[in-house]
Chains A and B, each alone.
Chain A
Amino acid sequence: MMTNAIVFGSLALALVYFITWAVRRDFREQIERPKHLFQDQIENYDNQFVEQKHE
């Protein structure tokens, strides 16, 4: 019973997640957005750091 709950619970959550990703373009966009934002944040920070270091 408990094993079934864990296995099928995991599969259900994974399926919902993957199906949402497959059918919702806005979800696909939104879910990938943070990595680009972070990339800009980290590069911005590094650039500022290097500039300050050279000043």
Chain B
Amino acid sequence: MSSKRESLSDSARASTGSSSNELVDTWLVYAHSMAALGTLFLSVVFGICISLQLILPDLVLESPVLSWGRLRYAHTQGIMLGWLGNAFLAFLYHAVPILTGKPVSSRLLGRCLFGLWNFIVVLPGFVLVLAGFSQPIEWAEFPLVIDVFVILGFLLAAYQFLPGFFQRGLDDLYVSSWYIIGGLVFTLLAYPMGNMIPEIVPGAESAAFGGLWIHDAVGLFVTPLALAILYFVIPAATGRPIFSHFLSMFGFWGLFFLYPLNGTHHYVFSVIPMAAQLGAIAASALLGVIVVIVVTNLLLSLRGSGWIPKDIGLRFVAMSIVFYLIVSIQGSFQAQMSLNQAVHFTDWVVAHSHLAMLGFATFAAIGGMIHAWQRIPWARYNAAALEWSFWLLVVGIGIMFVDLTIAGIIQANLWLNGAPWLESVQASKPYWIIRSISAIPISGGFIALFIGLITGPQEAGSKAITQTSKQEKASIVRPSLAANTFAQELGVTNSGKVLKMSYLAATLAGLTFFVVSVFLLGFLPGKVLDQQISLMTPENVLRPSASEARGRAIYAREGCAYCHTQQIRYTDADINRFGAPTLAWEGQFDFPHLWGTRRIGPDLARAGSTRTADWQLLHLYSPRTVSALSIMPAYPSLFDGGADKPKQEAYDLLAFIESLGRAREIAWPDGDIKARALAVDDRWALMSFDAPLLNAHPNKTRVRGDFPDFGEAASMEVGQQLWIDYCASCHGENGQGDGPAARWLEPRPANLTQFEYRSDNVADVLWNGVDGTAMPAWRDQSPENLAALINVVQRFSLDAAETEPANNELVLGEQIYLENCIQCHGVTGDGNGFAASELAIAPTAFTGQRPSIAESMRVLQNGIDGSSMAPWIDRLSADEMMAVTHYLREFFDE
């Protein structure tokens, strides 16, 4: 056995024939590590700004550059390409020469790649997305022009790192080498697919490819390179081989086969063919099994290192394994339909993605970086700061993960119960505050990491190798384990010629896996969706106008899709809250799709004709003026100083919002009936056709007259709080129609103190809204809340002490009313005159609400802006107006 071991050692020595200084370009390790930390700090600052804006939405009111959506773009791309991209490159410059026994292809190329990656990709990418040039695709937010250079970067990286493996020969390739080759090659394939194809295929097809990329970005770029680090650092730091190379290769092939097949689990319950969804769900479950095997192998490889390894790089790596296990099991479960229908779009998923990128991948990257850093002869090294870094990051990420997971469960529960949307926002706020606080230990951990790598003595790193690690090996690793018992048992020989061709087969298999995933989850669903679109699209479907197309670009630029999905899912909760699930043809002009992956605000797939134009514009200009609890970012840059002065961009965005759901609305119900007849076998499409309402948005105004009995009212205190939260923005705290939004709205909100209201009239308005005005329906409020609001409204009336009119006044009033008012208000004052149905805003029904004398006189004198009620001051005298006032007040049926 000893001769075999010597033979292996000779072979190894030959393969690392150069001295360590010649072999590894430490400058590039250093430079990419520093660039990684620089972009990490920027990305974390972006993330903190995003987090704070959820609780302080006006934090950067005047700056479109720092608006929520643009920062979100920069945050995710910064973490993936800036931080992890640089950290992985730093590790590759250290690891690949050791794995291949040869320096990388070219030191000059290394410097060019460094410049390209940081000064042509990452920094310009940040500048462009913050300036408003971006691509609204998850994990692909940098604009297409940057994508070209990213692909060039991956090509250069492949040329830089891969030839050494092929020159060395693929026999006896260590698992880290496999992951590095796989990561670089498959990212090169997946990146153009995920970044470019969604731009050229529409809607649901675009989403299918987008979903593939979301998982490929994690599964083919981040995970392979992170696992390469884990498999590299563990044996280096523990001084003994990994537990089983067989299991590690099983994991490698399992991951490369199954990861790309997971993509569609981001769109479960969507219109993407159910076969693809179920395939992705099955692949997700299998992936969990593979990860358990991978993690078991990794943990067994750590045996003897203790729960908290002394070597700080190894400690980060060990924690990364723990995070990997949690995040993967969580991912497998949340892809299953029962859990997915509840937690999808909630903060549960945000917790999951942060645990993947900030937990698993970041800890692996830091572990690899520290390991390489210890081996840079001239680099400073501060072990105490790195200790702090570890603990601060564990605490910070732990708090963030638990906090957001709980927030996600609470949001899911409220959404399933049909609670008002803003209730879920309010319920989330304490958790968002804690999430923002978790940024303190996380930022502290990263600062400590930076300090750990730029302070301390230069020889401290090598001491960490010779002392900490060796002590660990000597004192902690049991001799029986260090003696390579597994190899002895097997009797390692060099006789394994039988499967030499397996490497060629493996390469072909890997490529086949990728092609199969794109075929099964991208191309094939695309063909089915194409058929569905051609079958079900109504005749003469409207194409987006130029203004709507420009508005769509603004919507994409500002990252609106990160808070508002545009896909009503095939679930009861979505059907009840938003209406008929989205059909494939509804997105046939969406390049790329704007389906979104998170709902901080409600879905907007049928937002058109839900609110009035002035409400929408005010909501864009100053959201909290019109909706006190809203956390939507304000977009004053779309206006010239006021909600009533929209720039063309605001009009375009409004036009786009108004177009959402329009095509289906126009086609319905005839279009749906025809399409339904053609889709008899499509169970999921039928679910959309059979939905009770096409647009079930709770705030959409409906035809007046039909409303349920609200029953027992909640307490007056509850009613008053509801009034402040939902009504006072327009009607004012005291119901005087003088809320902060009032001056922007036409017609102005009613002054409720100047009317007496019958309770059924108020119930009708609360349940159905007032069409043509900013008064929405409030169907998402519970019946007892609505009953409480009726009580609040009725208490506002100051009309109790009005004087009784004289008989002659009533006679004169009747005469004037019959001559001038019945066309709209009707003979009986019920608002049903013969012209009423032609008016955008229904005339007031005096049978249900009695204006005060002062209010009636005001309206008669001035009319109502934005309605058909004209001023009568030039046609009626003061006495005549008073007479008609007294007459119409008599209609009120107490």
Contact = CB atoms under 8 A, between A and B. Distances in A.
A37 B484 CA distance: 12
B172 A37 contact: yes
B241 A45 contact: no
B490 A49 contact: no
B20 A6 contact: no
Interface string B220-246: 000000000000100110011110111
Contacts of A3: 275, 278-279, 281-282
Contacts, number: 156
Given A14-B254, A29-B495, A35 B241 contact: yes
Interface string B477-517: 00000001011001111111111000000000000000000
B11 A29 contact: no
A interface majority secondary structure? helix
B169 to A, nearest CB: 12
B250 A17 contact: yes
Contacts of A49: 20, 375, 377, 462, 465
B179 interface: no
A17 B232 CA distance: 24
B839 to A, nearest CB: 55
Contacts of B466: 50
Taking residues whose C-beta sits less than 8 angstroms from the other chain, chain B's interface range is: 35 or more
A31 B77 CA distance: 37
A38 B178 CA distance: 13
Given A13-B253, A49-B20, A6 B261 contact: yes
B277 to A, nearest CB: 9
A12 B100 CA distance: 32
Nearest to A24: B498
Contact of A45 (B20, B276, B494): B20
B19 A41 contact: no
Contacts of B286: 6-7, 10
B98 interface: yes
B433 interface: no
Given A32-B490, A37-B12, A53-B459, A43 B499 contact: no
A17 B493 CA distance: 20
A29 B496 contact: yes
Contacts of B21: 52
Contact of A33 (B13, B254, B279, B492): B492
Nearest to B23: A45
Interface in B233-284: 235-236, 239-242, 244-246, 248-250, 253-254, 257-258, 261, 275-276, 278-279, 281-283
Interface in A2-22: 2-3, 5-7, 9-10, 13-14, 17-18, 21
B99 A30 contact: no
Contacts of A53: 377, 459, 462
A21 B257 CA distance: 19
Contacts of B253: 13, 17
B69 interface: no
Nearest to B525: A2
Contacts of A44: 9, 12-13, 16
B537 interface: no
Nearest to A39: B241
Most buried by B among A32, A35, A50: A35
A46 B174 contact: no
B835 to A, nearest CB: 59
B496 A33 contact: yes
Contacts of A10: 254, 257-258, 283, 286
Contacts of A41: 12, 15-16, 98-99, 101
Interface in B19-63: 19-21, 23
B8 interface: yes
Contacts of B377: 49, 52-53
B175 A32 contact: no
B495 A38 contact: no
A44 B249 CA distance: 24
Nearest to A46: B465
A7 to B, nearest CB: 5
B499 A27 contact: yes
Contact of B499 (A9, A30, A36): A30
Contacts of A5: 279, 520
A40 B13 contact: yes
Nearest to B377: A53
A49 B9 CA distance: 17
Interface of A: 1-3, 5-7, 9-10, 13-14, 17-18, 21, 24, 26-46, 48-50, 52-53
Given A13-B253, A52-B20, 4 more contacts: A5-B279, A17-B250, A31-B249, A40-B9
6 contacts: A3-B279, A10-B254, A26-B498, A33-B496, A37-B174, A42-B98
5 shortest A-B CB distances, which residue pairs?
A30-B496, A40-B12, A2-B279, A35-B241, A38-B174
